[in-house]
Structure 1
C-alpha cells in the first residue's frame, strides 16, 4: 500500500508492477490538476525510467538542453557554462531531460495498471500487527496489506505518524512559473538552462513540453507562505519588484507568466528513521531536500527502484527486513545529496559583492560530485535478500 500518488508513489508502483508485486496507491485528492513547474531529470534518474519502458513518452514531452549557462543578473554577461546534451549522455550513458512535473506525473500514471490508484483516500492512521498493516482513512474506510509506504511528500502525514519532526525556515522564498515558448524564442531555437544570479537571489529558466513552454524558478529573500500555492494573483508584481534592474530576459519572462507559485522553503535535517516495522518512506517523505541541487525527483526514482528490488523476494514475514535493507542502502547517498543542496543554497543566498565568484563555487560543487551523482546506477545498489 503506497500513500500518495505523486512522482515517488507512482514510480514505486510502476517499479513494483514491473517486478511482479501487487500494490495499491491511495491518494487523498479527488483528481490530478495539470499544474506544476519544470523538473530536471539527470542521467541517474533517466536511465531508470528508460528501463521501466518510458523512453518514447519521455522523448515526446521533454527537452534535452545543450548546456547550462550562468549569467550576471543585471547585465546578462556569461559567467560560466556547463555542457549537457550529447556530452553528458556520452559520459553517463543516459540523457539529461527538462520537462513539466505534470507531464512526468501523467506518463507515470499512464504506465501503472488501471485500478492501481484510488483517489479520495485520506490516510489518518496506521496500525500494524503481526499479520498485516491497516491504513485508516478519514471517511472510515480501511485498507489492509503487508507493507505500507509513505510517498506523500515534504509534508508527509505518514512520516509524522512514525516520528515527530522539526524544521526551520530557510529565510528564502522560491517562485515557480510557466510561460509560453513564444516569450523566449531563443530558448526554443537553442535549448538550454539559463541561470541569472545577483546578490542574495537568482532566476533560472529552461524549456519544457518539447519547447512549447518555458519553466522558470526564482529565489528571493523572505520567509514566504507555509505549504505554498499556485496562483497568478500578485506574484508577478512581487517578482517585478524583486528583479527590478535585472537583465531584460528575466523581466520579459516574468511578464509573460501564465502560472506563478510561491513556496517558503523549510530547511529540514535528514529524517532519522525511514522505516518502522513494515512501514517505510520514499522520496520527499523520506528525505525532504532543498531544491538547489535539482535532485529531488531523481532521488525519488532511485528510491522506487531500490525498494522494489528489495521487496521482490520478500514475504509477509520478511517484508520488514526488506524495508530495513532498502533504508540502509539509500541513507548515505541521500544524506550526502541533502548536504550538497544546502551548500548550494548558502552559495546562492550569499549577500553583497559581485556574483562572479559564485558560479565558480557552484561549478566546483557540481564537478566534484558529477560522476558520483549522475553516473550512479541504482539498479546495482539494492542489496541481495
Structure 2
C-alpha cells in the first residue's frame, strides 16, 4: 500500500517514521527545497514523547533535548513566583516519559532520520487531489502527478488539502507571537536552568526555557495587537517593539531581550478545528486538521498523536480497507482534539479574567484536573491512560539503525 503525504513538517515525518518497516510505502511531497522548519523552541510533553521514545529516539533526545525540572509561573512586574509545577523525575514516574524542550529543527531532523530514506520529494507544490474508488492522484504545480492508495494532508495552517474538504474563514487573532533564541552564555545562569519560566501579565505573557542540550535559551511572547501581521514564521520582528510592549516588566525579561540578536514575529489567525477530517481516501492531520493557537503548547504534541494513531490504522489496512482506517482515525482524533481544545480555552478564559492572586488556585486546579488525561494519554492505546506503567523500549516498528 502506498500513502502520499502532503507536507514534510513534524506531522508528516512522524507518520513516515512510525510507518517505517511496516510494509506501507510513504511518500512525502514538500513544496520547499529545504524541509528544515523555521521557528524556535518547542515543548514535547509526555503524551508525545512516550510514543517517540518507543520508536528508539531516546539517545537523540538525550543529546539535543532538555528535561525540564519545573514550570514556574511568575508575576509579570517583579518575577515573584505565583505557582510552580514540578516536572523532572516526578513527571517521568507519573507519565512514563520526560517533558522535553528542544529546537523545532532538532526534533524535525531526528524524525527525518528515523523515516525511510529518500521518502521526501522536495519542490512538489500540490495544487489538486483527484480521488476515485481505488486511488488518489495528486497534481503538482509543475505538471507532475503522484498516485497513491490514500492522501494525507499534513501541510499546516495554510493547507491546500484542508480547503478541498472544508470551507473556512479565518479571523485575525488580535495577537502577535514573538520568538527568539539566545546563547546560554549570554544570559544570567538562573535563566538557563532546566526550567520553564512564564511571566504572566493581564493580557500578555513572556516565557523562556533552554533548548539544544542547554546551550541555547528559547523565548516567546504573546502580545495583543490591532495591526495585521503576516501569518508566517519567516517575518522578522523588531526587538524594540517587543521591549516597548513589555515596558515595566521584570528586569529578567528585558535582560533576555537585550541579549537577542533577532526575533521572529507571527500574526495569529483564529481557525477552528475542521468539521470534516476525511473522505474515502483523503485525511487531514496536525495543523491542517486542527490549527492550534500557542497556548499550553499542545500543537506539536497533538500532531505527533495524530501521526501515531494514523500509522496504527494504516499499518492494519489494505488498499481496499484504507477508507475505513481513515474513518476510524478521524473518529478517535476529532474526539481527543475537541476535548483538549475545550479545556485549553476554558483555562485560558479563567486566567484572563482572574486577578493575579487568584491565578495560583486556577493553575493548581487546572493542573490537577487535566494532567493525567492530557499527559497520560497514550495514542497507541487511545482508550487508556496507562502512562505510568508503560514500557519504553523496543517497538514492533522501531526504525532499524
CA 1:287–1:231: 2 relative to 1, 3 Å: closer
Match runs of 1:279-290 below 5 Å: 279-290=282-293
Match runs of 1:321-360 below 5 Å: 321-347=324-350, 349-350=352-353, 354-360=355-361
Does structure 1 conserve the Cα–Cα contact (< 8 Å) formed by 2:313 and 2:329? yes
CA 1:280–1:87: 2 relative to 1, 3 Å: same
Candidates 293, 296, 303, aligned match of 2:296: 293
Distance 1:313 1:24 in 2: 18
Question: What displacement does 1:187 show?
Answer: 4.1
Does structure 2 conserve the Cα–Cα contact (< 8 Å) formed by 1:4 and 1:152? yes
Gaps of 5+ in 1: none
Q: Secondary structure at the match of 1:169?
A: strand
Question: What displacement does 1:359 show?
Answer: 4.1
State the match for 2:375 in structure 1: 374
Does structure 2 conserve the Cα–Cα contact (< 8 Å) formed by 1:2 and 1:24? yes
State the match for 1:227 in structure 2: 231
List per-residue Cα deviations over 1:294-349 (Å, max 9, x = no partner): 11111111111111111112111111111001111111111111123323443455
Candidates 106, 111, 117, aligned match of 1:108: 111
Q: Does 1:85 align with 2:88?
A: yes
Match runs of 1:1-385 below 5 Å: 1-33=4-36, 35-187=38-190, 190-223=193-226, 224-232=228-236, 235-347=238-350, 349-350=352-353, 354-381=355-382
Question: What displacement does 1:293 show?
Answer: 1.6
CA 1:21–1:382: 2 relative to 1, 3 Å: farther
Q: Secondary structure at the match of 1:12?
A: helix
Distance 2:348 2:172 in 1: 13
Does structure 1 conserve the Cα–Cα contact (< 8 Å) formed by 2:9 and 2:37? no
The normalised TM-score by structure 1 is 0.94
CA 1:184–1:28: 2 relative to 1, 3 Å: same
Gaps of 5+ in 2: 385-401
Give the paired residue count: 380
CA 1:19–1:207: 2 relative to 1, 3 Å: same
List per-residue Cα deviations over 1:218-268 (Å, max 9, x = no partner): 111115413133355x52011110111111110111121233111222222
Runs in 1 of length 4+ with deviation above 6 angstroms?
Answer: none
Distance 1:185 1:75 in 2: 16
Question: What displacement does 1:129 show?
Answer: 1.1
Distance 2:214 2:233 in 1: 25
Does structure 2 conserve the Cα–Cα contact (< 8 Å) formed by 1:347 and 1:362? no
List per-residue Cα deviations over 1:49-106 (Å, max 9, x = no partner): 0011111001100100110111111111111110011110011111110001110011
Question: What displacement does 1:33 show?
Answer: 4.6
Does structure 2 conserve the Cα–Cα contact (< 8 Å) formed by 1:293 and 1:340? no
Does structure 2 conserve the Cα–Cα contact (< 8 Å) formed by 1:306 and 1:382? no
Does structure 2 conserve the Cα–Cα contact (< 8 Å) formed by 1:43 and 1:96? yes
Distance 2:225 2:346 in 1: 18
CA 1:264–1:47: 2 relative to 1, 3 Å: same
CA 1:25–1:276: 2 relative to 1, 3 Å: same
List per-residue Cα deviations over 1:196-225 (Å, max 9, x = no partner): 111211100000001110111111111541
Q: Secondary structure at the match of 1:326?
A: helix
Distance 2:164 2:315 in 1: 26
